[in-house]
Structure 1
Amino acid sequence: MGSSNNLVLLILFVLAISLTLVAEASQGHRETPSEEEKKDLKRQLRAINKPALKSFKTKQGIIYDCIDIHKQLAFDHHLLKNHSVQLKPTVLPEWITYKNISQKVSPLQLLQKGISCPDGTVIVKRTTMQDLMHAERLKSVGFNSSNRLPAGHHYATADYKRTSVSGVKGSINIWDVQVAQDQVSMATMAVAGGPVEQLASISVGWMASQVNPWLYGDHVHLYTYWTGDGYRRTGCYDVRCPGFVQVSKRIPLGVLIQKVSIYGGIQYQMDLVLHQDHATGDWWFIFGGENVGYWPASLFSPGGVANRANYASWGGQVYSPLTEASPVMGSGHFPDEGFGKAAFINGIQIIDGSGTALIPQIYTIKTHETSPTCYKAKYIHDDEEPWIRAIFYGGPGGCIGQ
């Protein structure tokens, strides 16, 4: 595929994961639903929130439920009616290890003390009426696939394009980014594949958002996103729709991340993996060495990521309405400030088609910046640890009308 087609693939990938952001901004704040709409939302809630064996409410007012692993929302998907839960991948790749120069956030640090689900259950954030109102707004917005970036969307990434990618890894630096209403700032690692008109993608990372006061309304959260067709009909964030099969009882999608980096001080990172099981084709999400869950291969077409991906990306993205200055990305500082001041993703690795973990060759990774006056990306490719392959990225924002 030529360089122009590579750019089209990159742009459509960004379009797919940013659709919900553009949709929300274009709709504005919806008025309070009518009584009939409320009744319909309540019916949907009864279908989505499965009976809990145990529940917890955090200090932030978030409710987590312990759901029977075999009765979770994923199995409402028509393609997963007869799906057998896989508790772990059949084979785990042996990733290359690096020296640790910052503090790692472990699964045990994600939830406050006292939250513990029993065996045979998974932990899930309870869906609220506000969550459903947000989903309804997305359905009401049309979207035309094109080869232009959505207005107000900016990114600074390191991208890898090859014919066969079956896994990616990265240690994502965590920052408590403050954003205004209708803005988003995120750090992401992703895979994508398929024809440009039917792009499939999976991304994971952290997100700070005020696009909707009910979507990650407090500080920084772990997030996931998937789509099988460029978000035309499939996919969602976290578990806001059937599809992702949760297996962890300790790591809920959308969980608040409370260990964050300090400018010029202690740095926190989280080790994330997206790995395709060669035996089943399922895409596993692994946090800090623990299996969180997976997207079954049946959710994706053979031309998408069901039979490997062909694109991987690491870096930052932001969104803001055109009339407002764009928010900070990463730490809010440019890459040249270096470790402890600029945001980074370290330990970049890929799994090739044979299932072997590789440090990408220098020439295979390219950086992309849509608004270099506000955000930059710097690819690090030293020969010695700890920065063998990494990206520093981010910036103070302030772009208006782009």
Structure 2
Amino acid sequence: MDFSNNIVILILLTLVLVAEAAAHEWRTIPSEEEKKEMERQLKDINKPALKSFKTEKGEIFDCIDIQKQLAFDHPLLKNHSVQLKPTSVPKWISSNKTSQKIDPLKLLPKGISCPHGTVIVKKITLQDLIHSQRLKSIGFNSPRHLRHVLTEGNDIDLTGHHFATLEYDYSRVAGVTGNLNLWDPQVSHDQVSLATMAIGQGPIEHLASISVGWMVNPLLYQDHIHLYTYWTADGYNKTGCYDILCPGFVQVSKRIPLGVLLHPVSVYNGTQYEMDLSLHQDRVTGDWWLIFGGVNVGYWPKSLFIGSGLVKGAYLGSWGGQVYSPTTEKSPGMGSGHFPKEGFGKAAFVNNIQILDGKGKALIPQIYTVEAHESNPNCYKSKFIHDDDEPWIRAVYYGGPGGCIGKLSMN
């Protein structure tokens, strides 16, 4: 896999590519016809709730029948039997503890408890759908212009995007894990800043991938830092979405909904917080499981990826950060907003980086199998931590203050 292809897949894995926002404005107020269509979509998305809760921030969480969740509206999952837990669980290698891990079971306010036989999901609102349309209008979920560049020339247009990551593409990957340092960077309405861990497989035009991590994205989550997921089976053409905005992800947890607000967050030169995530393929069923802090959140069934990759594992793993900004604005901070050279307590990191090999064995990647990438070192950097570097065996420091503006391209 050459450098150009690696960079493109890396971008696709960390965030769906975004075109110039100024060229594709979305009406803040939809027409009556559009509203009716969105209301119809809401009826399909929001399944009947056995119990509902509303937080102080106005978010509503529903307890729905595990057998009647949105995932099973997907035509490939009509006859799918819910797996309550994976049949195989990786035995990850223990690592040094230098930060405090957040407890995923304490993220929702006290008193929110779903009954047996149900799962917890965030209720989607009309405003959520309007914001989703806004995301599409500025280019999310549509990396067509990048594929066009790849086929027409060697120059890769990364307009508006900046990233600092660590990538593994040495051999088959059956899973990845990492502890993602939590920060709450400031962004404007059309900007995005995130930390991610991802796997992918296949050529760019048919890329199958799953990304998990945290994201600050006002259009998607209104404010602050939230747990996010994204999947696709065809290079973001017709399949996939964030969280549960479309059928696909099978929720099994009664306590950890996708899109949940994450807290507490790290303090510069103070207490550091992290969340531990793992993404692995069940060796018996082939499903891809998301585990957060040792708790099974849910999975993407293997059938979603039949004929498009990820059925027999992935060939790319990635950890790090990315930001997006319209070219009319200076790019926002990534991670803590500070460069890796400032080190622990000041720079953002992903530590405890490991992979599962094709046999399901946890491995600490060898130095020659991973490589750090930076799209614009003037604004963001990444630093690979390995072997004798303290305080971890394998990790990546990443981030920076931002301030980039204009068109970015890489050869």
| TM-score range relative to shorter protein | over 0.9
CA apart distance, 1:382? 2.1
Instruction: Provide Cα deviations, 1:314-373, integer angstroms capped at 9, x if missing partner.
Output: 000000011111000000000000000000000000000011000000111100000000
The correspondence of residues 321-340 of structure 1 with structure 2, limited to 5 A, is 321-340=326-345
8 A contact 1:24–1:138 mirrored in 2: no
1:52-131 counterparts in 2 under 5 A? Answer: 52-131=49-128
The answer to whether the 8 A contact 2:87-2:282 is kept is yes
Equivalent residue number for residue 178 of structure 1? 186
Task: Answer yes or no: is 1:263 the counterpart of 2:268.
Answer: yes
User: Which stretch shows the higher mean deviation, 81-90 or 385-394?
Assistant: 385-394
1:385: Cα distance to partner?
7.0
**What letter is aligned with 1:126?**
K
Question: How many matched pairs?
Answer: 396
Whether the 8 Å CA contact 2:20–2:160 is kept in 1: the answer is no
* Aligned-partner residue type, residue 208 of structure 1: V
* Shift of residue 303, structure 1, vs aligned partner: 4.7
Amino acid at match of 1:12: I
How far residue 197 of structure 1 moved from its aligned partner, in angstroms, is: 2.1
Deviations 1:233-279 (A, max 9, x none): 10001000000000001100000112100000000000000000011
User: Structure 2 counterpart of 1:366, which letter?
Assistant: E
Q: 1:61 to 1:21 in 2, by over 3 A?
A: farther
Contact 1:157–1:314 (CA under 8 A) maintained in structure 2 = yes
Q: TM-score, normalised by structure 2?
A: 0.92
Partner of 1:217: 222
Q: What does the per-residue CA deviation read over 1:219-238, in whole Å, with 9 as the maximum and x for residues that have no partner? A: 00000010111101100010
For residues 186-220 of structure 1, give each alpha carbon's deviation from its aligned partner in whole angstroms, at most 9, with x where no partner exists: 0000000112321111010100113x2xx111100
CA distance in 1, matches of 2:18, 2:136: 13
Query: In structure 1, what residue type is equivalent to 2:117?
Result: G
Amino acid at match of 2:75: H
Q: Which residue of 2 aligns with 1:18?
A: 15
Report the 3-state secondary structure (helix = DSSP H, G, I; strand = E; otherwise coil) of the residue aligned with 1:224: strand
Deviates more, 1:171-180 or 1:36-45: 36-45
TM-fit CA distance, 1:139: 6.1
Which whole-Å CA distance do the structure 1 matches of 2:199 and 2:125 have between them? 30
Structure 2 equivalent of residue 233 of structure 1: 238
Alpha-carbon distance, 1:102 to partner: 0.7
Give the 3-state SS of the residue equivalent to 1:83 in structure 2.
Answer: coil
User: Residue type matched to 2:384 in 1?
Assistant: Y
The equivalent of 1:30 in structure 2 is: 27
Taking the aligned partners of 1:50 and 1:75, their CA distance within structure 2 comes to: 11
Structure 1, unpaired ranges of 5+: none
Shift of 1:15: 3.5
Q: Is the 8 A contact 1:223 1:253 kept in 2?
A: yes
Moved more, 379-388 or 16-25: 16-25
AA at the equivalent of 2:119: V
Percent identity over paired residues? 64
Hey, what's the Cα distance between the residues in 2 that align with 1:334 and 1:238? Answer: 30
Name the CA distance, whole Å, in 2 between partners of 1:248 and 1:67.
11
Of residues 196, 200, 205, the one that matches 1:188 is 196
Corresponding residue number in structure 2 for 1:283: 288
Q: 1:294/1:25 Cα in 2 relative to 1: closer, same or farther (>3 Å)?
A: farther
The equivalent of 2:348 in structure 1 is: 343
Instruction: Give the direction of change, closer, same or farther, for the CA distance of 1:290–1:26 in structure 2 (3 Å limit).
Output: farther
Aligned match for 2:300, one of 277, 295, 302: 295
Task: Please report how far the alpha carbon of residue 55 of structure 1 lies from its aligned counterpart in structure 2 after TM superposition.
Answer: 0.4
Match of 1:389 in 2: 394
The DSSP-based 3-state class of the residue aligned with 2:170 is strand
Letter in structure 2 aligned against 1:348? I
> Distance between the aligned counterparts of 1:91 and 1:324, measured in 2?
46
Hey, what does 2:168 align to over in structure 1?
Answer: 160
1: distance between equivalents of 2:273 and 2:227?
Answer: 14
Asked if structure 2 preserves the Cα contact closer than 8 Å seen for 1:377 and 1:394, the reply is yes
Secondary structure class of the residue paired with 1:162: coil
* CA shift for structure 1 position 39: 1.7
**Root-mean-square deviation (Å):** 1.7
